[in-house]
């Protein structure tokens, strides 16, 4: 019996598997675009930010919804792990009611604070194995946020930690869709002047992401 065709087929299969493994090993980088919606507030409400000559004070502060956007570069450091570096735009927003004295006596007031930041982040993601196209993950990141609008009461920069729990759907060889829920918390005060207590903002929400897996060009 001539076994040459069988040997050739087996060699072709082995070569194909080797190329596939090599390509997967080389596909270490991916670019991820995130768009999220979050509710933002701060610990220990109310925090006073205004200094009024006649007198004023905050009575109540409530959460508001803001969008956020970032783009990140991920690099695999193992089969199921990766590190990231990202940049983006984020905001903190809350509604305030209180009392102020424009001339004589106190009258109620209301206002909305909106602070916009440019942020740079670094983090780590752990993917978990599953039998289908969906893979759950956990992720943590450290965020540096730089204030863009002019607000004397707030610091120009702050540091925050962000935790994510989500999953990734594989759509094709190069495209994935991600979804996650997150919680972000400041770890440094974000107010420039401490009138009564420090301002530590937090945010919680959900994100939708598109992931492009970079395939390196093979030189001929």
Residue 18 lies in a domain: no
Q: What is the helix (H) or strand (E) element at residue 125, kind and residue range?
A: strand 107-127
In the structure encoding, which two tokens stand for residue 150, read together? 């002019």
Could you tell me how far CA 166 lies from the centroid of its own chain? 12
Contacts of 188 (CB under 8 A, 6+ apart): 155, 158, 159
Residue 188 lies in a domain: yes
Residue 40 lies in a domain: yes
Could you tell me how far CA 96 lies from the centroid of its own chain? 26
pLDDT in tens, 161-185: 999 999 999 999 899 999 999 999 9
Average pLDDT over residues 132-161: 92
Structural domain for 168, as ranges:
28-214
Residue 99 lies in a domain: yes
pLDDT in tens, 11-64: 544 544 444 444 445 568 999 999 999 999 999 999 998 877 778 889 999 999
CATH number of the domain bearing residue 155: 2.40.160.20
201/204 Cα distance (integer angstroms): 11
At residue 183's C-alpha, the angle toward residues 182 and 188, to 5°, is 140
pLDDT averaged over every residue in the chain: 87
pTM of the model: 0.83
Q: How many domains does the chain have?
A: 1
Give 10's pLDDT tier (boundaries 50, 70, 90): low
Residue 11 lies in a domain: no
Q: What is the pLDDT of residue 16?
A: 46
Residue 39 lies in a domain: yes
Q: What is the pLDDT of residue 167?
A: 96
Residue 140 lies in a domain: yes
């Amino acid at each position: 019996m001539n076994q040459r065709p069988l040997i050739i087929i087996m060699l072709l299969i082995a070569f194909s598997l080797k190329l596939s493994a090599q390509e997967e090993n080389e596909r270490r980088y991916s670019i991820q675009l995130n768009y999220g919606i979050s509710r933002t507030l701060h610990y220990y409400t109310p925090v006073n930010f205004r200094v009024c000559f006649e007198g004023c004070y905050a009575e109540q502060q409530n959460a508001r919804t803001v969008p956020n956007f970032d783009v990140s570069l991920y690099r695999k450091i193992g089969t199921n792990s990766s590190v990231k570096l990202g940049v983006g735009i984020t905001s903190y927003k809350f509604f305030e009611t209180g009392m102020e004295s424009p001339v004589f006596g106190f009258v109620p007031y209301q206002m909305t604070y909106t602070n916009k930041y440019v942020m740079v982040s670094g983090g780590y993601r752990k993917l978990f194995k599953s039998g289908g196209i969906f893979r759950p993950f956990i992720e943590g990141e450290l965020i540096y946020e730089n204030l863009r609008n002019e607000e004397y009461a707030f610091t120009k920069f702050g540091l925050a930690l962000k935790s994510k729990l989500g999953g990734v759907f594989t759509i094709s060889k190069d495209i994935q869709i991600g979804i996650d829920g997150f919680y972000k918390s400041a770890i440094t005060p974000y107010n420039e002047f401490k009138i009564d207590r420090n301002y530590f903002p937090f945010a919680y929400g959900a994100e939708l992401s598109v992931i492009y897996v970079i395939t390196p060009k093979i030189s001929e």
